[in-house]
Structure 1
């Protein structure tokens, strides 16, 4: 499996588009001093479970993401609970959210900055220290639910940017 990597500036320009200079990432998810290792598009779902909240009322609680990671229209990996990102080259990272910014609309899950807390395998993701989730579309599930233990998913898409120090 071949994963193409562009020069970081080209990759960043392709990822964010022409508005990059006018629209920098929100401070809460920016990663100054880090460079792009890989940028992928994800298509999938955010899975929710009906649970009682602290107030005793039933509500949808986020459970896990399930998404396919795409590069140039080809599947190169997957994203799942943990959160984990795993590529076909067997390299994988686990992240922990450390910052967030609102999505473009009320229906969009937030943009995130995640610190990598663990690595598996060896490959493209080996040097990655930070993951950003940007350009989110959909994924939020609001409203009351009827029965504890029910599951529902909300389709979403996002771009994930994998960064390394320096």
Structure 2
């Protein structure tokens, strides 16, 4: 009986890939875990009320407990071999909780270098935890970082 309970809970823990971020007919090149922060800035919205606006991500890419790259504004992912890819959002799905930033599908918009990320056509941000900032901001120009983690999957057309 205990074995059945464990099997059932492991199935529940796995979240299916939402259609909006799926990349059928593409092959995985690499997958890295990221730990970092989503940075927000306090700005006036269209009505003049101050609100937190997303500014940029700052994260470390990790593989086998080692730092292998970084993720920053663009959005850009840079691998330790000097290759980099910049993406443009093509699809979005809600995170698992209201505190989790959305899962994303990004089309490659630009490349740099000739390493592992040079052939990437799609980037998926999945398994997000945290990163959403809520609440009021009181001073225009103030910054706030919200910790997050995610997995980034780098794909190419088959």
- Whether TM exceeds 0.5 here: the answer is yes
Please name the residue that 2:155 is paired with. Answer: 163
Q: Which residue, 89, 109, 122 being the options, matches 1:117?
A: 109
Structure 1 gap segments, 5+ residues each:
1-17
**Structure 2: how far apart are the matches of 1:59 and 1:142?**
9
* Alignment RMSD (CA, Å): 1.3
**Structure 1: how far apart are the matches of 2:15 and 2:26?**
18
Q: Kindly report which structure 2 residues correspond to 1:68-107, keeping only aligned pairs within 5 A, or say none.
A: 68-107=60-99
Report Cα offsets for 1:74-98 as digits up to 9, x if no partner.
0000000000000110000000001
Q: Which residue, 9, 13, 19 being the options, matches 1:27?
A: 19
**Structure 1: how far apart are the matches of 2:118 and 2:141?**
37
**Structure 2: how far apart are the matches of 1:77 and 1:87?**
4
Please name the residue that 1:3 is paired with. Answer: none
TM-score by length of 2: 0.91
- 1:64 aligned to 2:56? yes
May I ask how many residue pairs the two structures share in their alignment?
A: 148
Q: Which runs of 4+ in 1 moved over 6 A?
A: none
Partner SS for 1:28: helix
TM-score by length of 1: 0.87
**Structure 2: how far apart are the matches of 1:135 and 1:23?**
8
Shift of 1:23: 4.5
